[in-house]
Amino acid sequence: MHKSNLLIASLLLTTGCLSDEAYELDADDVETSEVESAATVYNWSDDTPISALSSAYQVGLASLGGRVHMVYTTSYGYLSHARFDGFFWTGASPLPSVARADYGPALVNHGSQLVLVYHARGENRLMMSTSSGSSWTNPVTVGSTLGGATILNAPAAVSHGGNLYIGYCTRTSAGDFVRIDRRDGTAWTKIAELNAAFRCKHVALASLPDGKLDIIATVESGNTGDWYMFEWDGVGEPTSGWQRDMLPMKSKKPVSIATCGGISHLVHGGFSTPREIWWTVREGGSWLGDSRIPNQASEGGSSLACWNDRTIMVHNGGDSQLWYARYSE
């Protein structure tokens, strides 16, 4: 989104050419951010239910072999796999029954293979399975040695610079951190431990077109009940010395980032109304002020992936029913 569009939107709103209904926003969520043109957010299609598929959590999405693949957590933590060909979603294919997750899984295309990482149900460890697009390997334990750390919530995964990275919240006696691990062949190495400052909730990782690795975490203040979104980004491999920046957005739901057609998109939840879905794009090395996607909501958090240069979003709605929408220029 260009700055000129921001100005046009502001002028339209001031002169009354843009209705309050078309520009409905929640001030608590954007009080410190610059608001984008409401017309742009309408490039998102209306969402469509994905028949018979449901999950209470954010799903894992990734593209491989001309399909968007989705792995999602079902009842009692079991995982299922579905595919989208641009027109239809397949029915659910259960993963091996030994694969059970707490929260939602992370899914990434790494080395022309689907890599699935998730928080093992009722355990303090992360698990990984891989697939060429149909059957899945039995899960194995992944991640660096935890020591006395406790894994919190769901992990994130990204393929960046030819390496596979995972990111996740941990808690130790020293506080909460975002831990970043790298896979070297079959071994995992902890390469960064980023101070979350508050209670670490959700992590998102992305490889950006400018060569940067982007890390975003949502955190909660235990004293005030406020929530923040922190970002670390840089070229090359992350280190614990990377600068932490506070974004103007707030979210009580997980974040998702995807680059499609050269444009990096970010979606997140609301703060005062957590189940809202907010969207922004990256320009000039920073995220522009965001807009709420109208008439769409998510209880567990939205996920993004790219299919044929179109951004696909999947989210659950007021219940666990899964829905999808497309972004078209």
DSSP string covering 78-134: BEEEEEE-SS-B---EEPPTT-BEEEEEEEEE-SSSEEEEEEETTSS-EEEEEESSS
The sign of the CA dihedral 243, 249, 253, 258 is negative
Domains of the chain: 45-327 (2.120.10.10)
pLDDT tens digits for range 109-164: 999 999 999 999 999 999 999 999 989 999 999 999 999 999 999 999 999 999 99
Question: What pLDDT shows up at residue 230?
Answer: 98
Answer for the pair 270, 276: CB distance below 8 angstroms, yes or no: yes
Could you give the C-alpha distances from 16 to 13, 281, 289, in angstroms and in order? 5, 26, 21
pLDDT (tens place) for every residue of the chain, 329 residues total: 333 333 333 322 332 332 233 223 344 454 333 334 433 898 999 999 999 999 999 999 999 999 999 999 999 999 999 999 999 999 999 999 999 999 999 999 999 999 999 999 999 999 999 999 989 999 999 999 999 999 999 999 999 999 999 999 999 999 999 999 999 888 999 999 999 999 999 999 999 999 999 999 999 999 999 999 999 999 999 999 999 999 999 999 999 999 998 999 999 999 999 999 999 999 989 999 899 999 999 999 999 999 998 999 999 997 899 999 999 87
The tokens describing 41, both together, are 């957010």
Q: Left (φ > 0), alpha (ψ -120 to 50) or beta: where does 205 sit? A: beta
Question: What pLDDT shows up at residue 67?
Answer: 96
Host H or E run for residue 190: strand 187-195
Answer for the pair 255, 229: CB distance below 8 angstroms, yes or no: yes
Answer for the pair 302, 267: CB distance below 8 angstroms, yes or no: yes
Tell me what percent of the residues of the chain surpass a pLDDT of 90.
82
